A and B are shown apart, each in its own frame.
Chain A
């Protein structure tokens, strides 16, 4: 039987509340069940493993806290990513969940993230004549430098704040785009 939609959502909302005071690993299904006021079994029915819970929680957080501003041009793309990195800095515990969920072996939908499709669409407009291989290289690089993983790595491994992470992002994007021949770019 399918649970009502709001049970699944209530579980995620409660997990997000608990995430303010402890790490994801320290949120037990028991504590989560108490927080929502349902049985532990109900949670297992919705999220059979912690990986399922992590993936769903990350999607929920993404929509609730880190909506991606839409973009068409490369400069809009960079502005949108800056905004996200700054939002990550204000809610680091949530952003780490996103970074972590994007690293696990896929459990739920294996659909690419919205930002991936948006980057591909952007390149189609900005660089219509680009060959398939270079398009894939550029799209994958831009996607990876705009990820929660990039933010998490620079915050934990390099102790950088959002402003510095945005600078490193701009530099990386610049190097990738500079590799393409000038004639690639659509004339405005």
Chain B
């Protein structure tokens, strides 16, 4: 607790070389898209030998998953929410960050949708559960699970991708709608907060 990290993803410690590779790849994705970037180009951008890239990331899938995790932990890092009722605000801010880096947002969204061979799709789940259990411990297990599932889903880059692709929404409308939906989920538990948090009521 209390670590000043992202509040969601646990970032594996990277060597300086690995950090340079992932940063170079992320940069190139924004310039060229994720399909067209060769190991040779990544190596040149990072200022290292091509075989060093291969040694660290033997396959393109390895490289892509590591890059997605790195993007989430750095460019898309968020401040930890201190209350479950602050989550809509965190979601609003996250959507604006995704909107500023659309190519990278798609990369992160896609790696989380690969099933067991992909990235964890709900990295913020444990954090949400901690907050909910502290503030609203009286929920039955099914209700608790539904609330956590809905908030995890909304607090992800998939929201930004879907709202943009399916409805042509701009960053402002996406942030508004995502936060609105999260408030809707929280509406169902506002009157269930424990007396330790009476000021949360009706916020």
Taking the complex as formed, is A178 at the interface, i.e. its CB lies under 8 A from any CB of chain B? yes
With A156-B115, A172-B150 given, can you name 14 additional A-B contacts, CB distance below 8 Å? Answer: A51-B34, A93-B115, A100-B110, A103-B112, A136-B173, A137-B177, A141-B180, A144-B163, A145-B150, A148-B113, A157-B152, A171-B150, A176-B181, A179-B184
- Residues in A with CB closer than 8 Å to B156 are 153
18 sample A-B contacts, Cβ–Cβ < 8 Å, listed by A number: A96-B115, A103-B106, A105-B34, A105-B102, A112-B166, A137-B177, A144-B153, A144-B163, A149-B153, A153-B149, A153-B158, A156-B116, A158-B145, A158-B149, A167-B142, A171-B143, A175-B185, A179-B183
Q: Fill in one digit per residue for B148-167: 1 if any A CB lies within 8 Å of its CB, else 0.
A: 11101110101101110111
Task: Give the CA-CA distance A179 to B176 in the complex, in Å.
Answer: 14
Kindly provide the distance from the CB of B85 to the nearest chain A CB, expressed in whole angstroms. Answer: 14
Task: Give the CA-CA distance A171 to B149 in the complex, in Å.
Answer: 10
3 shortest interchain CB distances as A-B pairs: A157-B122, A171-B146, A103-B109
Complex contact A49–B35 (CB within 8 A)? yes
> Which residue in A96, A158, A178 is a CB contact (below 8 Å) of B122?
A158
Restricting to B173-196, which residues have a CB under 8 Å from any CB of A? 173, 176-177, 180-181, 183-185, 187-188
Complex contact A168–B146 (CB within 8 A)? yes
Complex contact A96–B113 (CB within 8 A)? yes
Q: Which of A103, A148, A179 has the most CB of B within 10 A?
A: A103
Given A103-B112, A157-B122, A167-B142, decide whether A112 and B176 contact each other with a Cβ distance below 8 A. no
Taking the complex as formed, is B50 at the interface, i.e. its CB lies under 8 A from any CB of chain A? no
Interface, chain B (partner A; CB < 8 A): 33-36, 61, 102-103, 106, 109-110, 112-118, 120-122, 125, 142-143, 145-150, 152-154, 156, 158-159, 161-163, 165-169, 173, 176-177, 180-181, 183-185, 187-188
Q: Fill in one digit per residue for A17-35: 1 if any B CB lies within 8 Å of its CB, else 0.
A: 0000001010000000000
Interface, chain A (partner B; CB < 8 A): 23, 25, 49-51, 92-93, 96, 99-100, 102-106, 110, 112-113, 116, 133, 136-137, 139-141, 143-145, 147-150, 152-158, 160, 164, 167-168, 171-172, 174-176, 178-179
